[in-house]
Structure 1
Amino acid sequence: MAVSRRTCLALGGGGGLAALSGCLDFGSETPQLSLTLLNFDSERHEINVEVFRADAEEYTDAVVLREQYELSPPPEDAVAAERTDDGALESDTYVVDVTVSTAPAVSDTYHFYPALADDDRTDRLFIELRTDPDSGDRYIDFQQNH
């Protein structure tokens, strides 16, 4: 059976289009959220971080990150010890729960909102363990890079 010229061109054009379809990138890479944990306290701490989708209806669908980080005390030549988790998850609207299990336990919650679509910076959430200079009580502070 002979293949017509029209059929041959259609098959060749479709195959070429399929071959090139993965090569087109319009900068649609999914923005990432990086976490930076800072320990301003003079002791070593374990910090539990749980990140939940803000719009999920079920707990199992909501959890996107459950991680335990060990933070050393700051080195003598620095104000804080730092631990970074670059590209930990896709940047989205999240509820972030942080607990420091070292006695006395401290916990706090933060609502993270991503940068605007035209902002080309990588979203970064800073989770800071600090000590109140007056009372000596530990507390958790949150910052975003935008």
Structure 2
Amino acid sequence: MADQLLDAAGLRADDRPVREMSPAEQQMLALAVAMSTRPRLLLADEPTSQLDDADRDRLLDLLVEIADQQGTAVLLVTHDELVAARMQRSIHLRDGRIGEEATAAGRYAVIGADGSIPLPEALRAEWGSGRLVSIDAVAPGELRIRGAETGGDHD
């Protein structure tokens, strides 16, 4: 697998020191080294943050393909929604807690231990902290959340 990555990056016969390689080449090399031992788990912290779009996509293509071939679970940390979308499952943290989970089936809020439900970003931006809301059960398993119509603003 490491040879496959090195070939894809054009680095197999490259004997330059790492410091002379581009950021994309360094990331490809790091991925090849990490996957060479066929780990069951790979931890990757912002592996594409220094790459342009084309290099980001090429690295992710290889990472997903080789992790799948080897049966390696990948725990990847990113702030880039495009990178997160390439993974089978993503967990979105908000204020140090799990706020949402996304898979191919959709994006879902996660109910906290205290019963709280994080609002989607668009509603958080529109309503703001301290806003009064009305929550009604409209059918089994279905809720309706509405901003309360009040005489004053509680933001």
Provide the TM-score with structure 1 as the length reference.
0.22
Provide the TM-score with structure 2 as the length reference.
0.21
Task: Report which of the two has the higher share of helix.
Answer: 2
Task: Report which of the two has the higher share of strand.
Answer: 1
